[in-house]
Amino acid sequence: MGMDAGESFEQDLDGHQVLKRASGGRYIPAQALKPGSMLGEVLNVVPELKAIADVHLRIVFNMDSSNVGPKQWVQLARILDTNRDHYDAFVLACGTDTLSYIAAALSLMLVGFKKPIIITGSQLPLALPRSDARQNLLDAMCCATAAFSPPHVNLQEVAVCFGGRLMRGNRTQKINSSAYQAFDSLNYPHLANLGVSVDWDVPALLKVNTVYRPRFKLEPRVIRVPIIPGSDPRIVYGDLAGRGVKGMVLEAFGVGNMPDRAEAGWLPWLKAQRKKGVLVYLSSQCTVGSLHPELYRSGSAALRLGVESGPQMTAECAAVKLMLCLSYPDLPLGSPLAGEL
């Protein structure tokens, strides 16, 4: 939700506190689809927000989400950490193209945060006649303040609210570039569905029992490598380690299968990259279903080479978790930190 970087707006009302922050996107209109300006007017454009909570508005940066990466994710995480004790909940409005990466990053960097961090955005700018921005923002605020009205839901995680769905942030993917229901968590139940009523799936909510320990380091030298039938990675990808790559999300077929003939080159190439220190996480090109590379000879061989795997993560979350685990070697790549697998 963009605005001029030098502007801010604060509205003081009695009630619970919600810090709403922006990092670019499409909430305020322009002649073309680009980051908006004058975000401080949003409380005037959507006055219902002031009836939901005492909203403090802060603009972090104003940029296209395609340009938002690890540096900005860390910046957002630090701001949330600094303000954790001052607010009851947080709503982040941002562009949709990398929203899933932002959600995964915040959930993994702020494990144990124990307060709602709701991320939303829009497919169309706020001032356009059929914009989804208004409803998405109101829905996000409703979910962020769910603890303060019946049925008093104790939401303690990073979630994405979009198109009438509340989804676990690190399980969410952008699945449609033109529909209002642009995001889904295809391999995990929705936390809530918002229609005339808000229907919560309370058993699906994250149970946070860990001590809060923020982490603000990410190693960005990570690559996603989808396996393509007939391709030779020695030619297509070459020596990744020699080019400075530190981590790889290897996107295999089905439950974790890949070509195992010597001439295909995948296993020899993996062996060489592992010897040079590249951390590899094996995932699937399938969006839904479980991951069991041990069921196939090639998958088992990859595991013996030191390739890590576990229950299925989204490709976005797997890439971000690699960035985190490369910076914190004590963290388990194949074990859950924040309900991501």
- For residue 170, what are its two tokens? 């690190």
Start-end of H helices in the chain = 42-45, 49-52, 70-83, 99-109, 133-144, 233-236, 266-275, 297-304, 315-327
Tell me the angle at which helices 315-327 and 99-109 cross, rounded to the nearest 10 degrees. Answer: 40
**Residue 23 assigned as binding residue:** no
3-state secondary structure of 98: coil
Cα separation, 28 vs 188, in Å, equals: 32
**Residue 88 assigned as binding residue:** no
How many other β-carbons are positioned within 10 Å of the β-carbon of residue 320?
Answer: 29
Backbone angles phi, psi at 126, to 5 degrees: -55, -40
Cα separation, 155 vs 208, in Å, equals: 10
Cα separation, 157 vs 171, in Å, equals: 12
Cα separation, 188 vs 330, in Å, equals: 27
**Residue 210 assigned as binding residue:** no
Enumerate the known binding-site residues for substrate. Answer: 65, 96-97
Residue list, annotated binding site: 65, 96-97
